């Protein structure tokens, strides 16, 4: 079912202005209610619960500033932006309105383009504020970042230390470790916590769409707001930043350096007022040294680095994480949370968790879906992990040489044979060249080749 269109309340004592604004906004698909004075504004606000208010400052009787103050004092504007409008606007009026809590200030005569852009931005900002309130409510329980291990306690210490600063943060760590959650906690501990936490996931977006998603665009009178504008005053979170193309890296560096940017197709610079938090599951230093990522951009973003430890380094967190995921799934499915046997817990503790916390959460969900019993035992766990364990086994076996399973003497002989065979082929069987290449005296090398049963072509004799 489609969501209802946003409801906008227009408060203005001039009938012509109310009618014009109503026509413009209704043509854009908004639902519109009207009020001609402060009393009607309060009644309409209470009855229709608008998503946004256009409020005139100068009205007979009580003015718009007084109405705004009363709504702010009653804490009614948490997710309802108010755009002040005035035919006698001054800088003082605008500053006072914004200081009190107005989202924006527009002067009459109103430009249709500016009006619609301000409304669009205000509604998007309100949506982000609403999501942010939900996030704050969830995070206030302190149950989403478990810190029973030394590694996770150190991580939490870093978050608490850097949160109150406004520095940009570069978060690294394996896939599935919880980098996104760490970024949210940094935001919630920061001076920008009352503003939006806006996300851009590069791993889920075609590279050609990224510039518009970041900077927005202008085409004629139509303006599309990008993530930088949506995050104004708050935090912009860029996931998998190493996926940026070279051109977008250049644009991003310029925007961060100058603290301003142009929308695509635009000519007016837009101020950049965000805290930037980026993540990667790759190796940023390697990306820089190989020329895939701009070195100056890396150092620009990497003001404060945080590395999120893999789950295998924070095994003390496992029992509480499992209990939390079980309870979360039970709440969502309206079923009792099952108990986990000690044998099953021990198996989960011994498992390597290549997919980290995300894999654990998926397996717990799998356990709840496939198992309707009141207790989860070892067999349930093994079945739920299933192919994941086989993947880990195959990865382990493919990355570890066979001779790792031999005794030390046999392993050493196997390694030497493989090593010399490889390098003999690179020098076309020239023993003198090989001796020089590997730093071994030639006579000793001949004896070694003979003892290993290798000829000068690197094959067995």
CATH number of the domain enclosing 40: 3.40.50.2300
- Burial class of residue 344 in the structure, from the number of CB atoms within 10 Å of its CB (0-12 exposed, 13-18 middle, 19+ buried): buried
CB 261 within 8 A of CB 238: no
Residue 139 is assigned to a structural domain of this protein: no
Give the domain extent around 439. Answer: 405-452
Confirm if 446 and 456 have CB atoms less than 8 A apart. no
Kindly state whether residues 249 and 279 are assigned to the same domain. yes
Residue 30 inside a domain? The answer is yes
Interacting residues of 247 by C-beta distance below 8 A, sequence separation 6+: 211
Q: Which of 305, 307, 306, 311 is nearest to 149 (CA)?
A: 311
Indicate the pTM of the whole model.
Answer: 0.59
Q: What is the three-class DSSP state of 280?
A: strand
pLDDT tens track of the chain, all 461 residues? 346 789 999 999 999 999 999 999 999 999 999 999 999 999 999 888 899 999 998 888 888 999 999 898 888 887 899 999 987 756 677 777 777 888 888 888 888 888 999 899 888 878 776 665 555 554 444 346 788 888 888 998 898 888 888 899 999 999 999 999 999 999 988 989 888 899 999 888 888 999 999 999 988 777 888 999 989 899 999 999 999 999 999 999 999 999 999 999 988 899 999 999 999 999 999 999 988 999 999 999 999 999 999 999 999 999 989 988 888 888 777 778 888 999 999 999 999 899 999 999 989 988 888 777 778 999 989 888 875 555 454 444 445 565 565 566 667 777 787 778 777 777 777 888 788 778 787 777 887 887 777 776 555 55
Q: Please give the Cα distance from 287 to 83 (Å, whole number).
A: 45
Q: Does residue 274 share a domain with residue 172?
A: yes
Residues 379, 280 within the same domain:
no
Give the domain CATH number at 369. Answer: 1.10.8.60
Helix (H) or strand (E) holding 19: helix 15-27
- 166: CATH: 3.40.50.300
In the listed set 280, 307, 334, which residue is the last one of a domain according to the structure? 307
Same-domain check for residues 295 and 153: yes
How far from chain centre, in Å, is Cα 281? Answer: 12
Same domain flag for 29 and 72: yes
């Amino acid at each position: 079912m489609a969501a209802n269109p946003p409801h906008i309340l227009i408060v203005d004592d001039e009938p012509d202005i109310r009618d014009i604004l109503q026509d413009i906004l209704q043509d854009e698909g908004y639902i519109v209610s009207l009020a001609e004075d402060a009393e009607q504004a309060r009644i309409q606000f209470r009855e229709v619960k608008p998503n946004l208010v256009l409020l005139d400052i100068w009205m007979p009787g009580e003015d718009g500033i007084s109405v705004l103050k009363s709504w702010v004092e009653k804490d009614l504007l948490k997710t309802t932006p108010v755009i002040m409008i005035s035919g006698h606007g001054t800088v003082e009026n605008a500053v006072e309105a914004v200081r009190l809590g107005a989202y924006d200030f527009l002067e009459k005569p109103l430009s249709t383009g500016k009006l619609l852009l301000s409304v669009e931005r205000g509604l998007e900002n309100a949506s982000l504020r609403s999501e942010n309130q939900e996030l704050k409510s969830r995070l206030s329980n302190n149950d989403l970042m478990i810190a029973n291990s030394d590694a996770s306690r150190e991580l939490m210490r870093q978050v608490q230390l850097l949160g109150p600063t406004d520095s940009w943060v570069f978060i690294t760590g394996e896939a599935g470790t919880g980098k996104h959650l760490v970024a949210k906690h940094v935001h919630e501990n920061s001076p920008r916590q009352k503003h939006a936490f806006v996300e851009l996931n590069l791993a889920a977006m075609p590279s050609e769409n990224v510039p518009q998603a970041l900077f927005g665009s202008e085409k004629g009178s139509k303006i599309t707001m990008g993530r930088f504008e949506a995050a104004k005053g708050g935090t912009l979170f860029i996931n998998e930043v190493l996926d940026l193309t070279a051109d977008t890296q250049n644009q991003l560096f310029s925007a961060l350096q100058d603290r301003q940017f142009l929308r695509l197709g635009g000519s007016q610079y837009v101020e950049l007022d965000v805290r930037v938090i980026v993540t990667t599951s790759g190796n940023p230093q390697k990306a820089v040294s190989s020329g895939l990522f701009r070195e100056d951009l890396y150092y620009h973003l990497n003001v404060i680095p945080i590395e999120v430890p893999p789950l295998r380094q924070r095994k003390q967190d496992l029992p509480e994480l499992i209990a939390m995921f079980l309870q979360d799934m039970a709440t969502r499915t309206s079923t009792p949370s099952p108990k986990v046997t000690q044998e099953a817990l021990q198996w989960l503790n011994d498992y390597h968790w290549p997919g980290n916390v995300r894999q654990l959460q998926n397996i717990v969900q799998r356990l709840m879906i496939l198992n309707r019993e009141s207790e989860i035992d070892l067999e349930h766990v093994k079945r739920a992990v299933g192919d994941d364990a086989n993947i880990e086994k195959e990865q382990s076996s493919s990355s570890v040489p066979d001779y790792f399973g031999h005794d030390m003497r046999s392993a050493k002989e196997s390694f030497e044979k493989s090593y010399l065979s490889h390098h003999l082929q690179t020098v076309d069987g020239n023993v003198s060249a090989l001796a020089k290449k590997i730093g071994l005296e030639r006579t000793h090398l001949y004896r070694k080749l003979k003892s290993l049963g290798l000829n000068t072509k690197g094959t067995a004799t």
